[in-house]
């Protein structure tokens, strides 16, 4: 496994997806973010099945930066219980992994 993580969250509005994506990359909590359309999200709410479109934002970051990214996403997210899900990586091409690490270093003294 590598130290690079794929961290996803979902939101209802495209504007929120863009805000979260840009904020986390600006703050160097992630190297980059990809926004994708979810045609339908199915879940139970107050006993009934719901089905609504959403947007997924997937960030590429490092294990060292994960705690900061999760905290910032939870603070900035419009949902009451946001999903922040980190998937491990088995292998990442060397030059790209180095780019990710360089783009979201730990702050000095951290």
Q: Considering only residues 75 through 94, tell me which ones interact with a copy of itself, judged by CB under 8 A.
A: 81-93
Q: What is the largest CA-CA distance in the chain?
A: 49
Q: Does 22 bind a copy of itself (CB under 8 A)?
A: yes
Give the position of tokens 């939101």: 11
Rule CB under 8 A: choose which of 47, 75, 95, 107 binds a copy of itself.
Answer: 95
Tokens describing residue 68: 């900061």
- Residue 105, number of CB atoms within 10 A of its CB: 12
CB 107 to a copy of itself: min, Å: 16
CB 74 to a copy of itself: min, Å: 6
Tell me how far apart the alpha carbons of residues 62 and 53 are, in angstroms, rounded to a whole number. 29
Tokens describing residue 74: 């939870």
Q: Does 106 bind a copy of itself (CB under 8 A)?
A: no
Give the position of tokens 């794929």: 6
Q: How far out from the chain centre does Cα 73 lie?
A: 8
Interaction site with a copy of itself (CB under 8 A) = 1, 4-6, 10, 14, 17-18, 21-22, 25-26, 31-44, 49, 51, 54-56, 60, 63, 66, 70, 73-74, 81-93, 95-96, 99, 103
């Amino acid at each position: 496994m590598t130290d690079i993580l794929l961290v996803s969250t979902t939101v209802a509005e495209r504007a929120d997806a863009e805000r979260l994506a840009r904020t986390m990359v600006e703050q160097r909590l992630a190297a980059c973010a990809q926004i994708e359309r979810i045609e339908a999200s199915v879940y139970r709410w107050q006993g009934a099945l719901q089905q609504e479109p959403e947007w997924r934002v997937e960030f590429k970051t490092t294990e060292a930066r994960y705690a900061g990214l999760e905290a910032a996403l939870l603070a900035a997210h419009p949902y009451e219980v946001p999903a922040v899900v980190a998937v491990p990586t088995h292998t990442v091409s060397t030059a790209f992994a180095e780019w990710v690490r360089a783009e979201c270093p730990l702050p000095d003294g951290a």
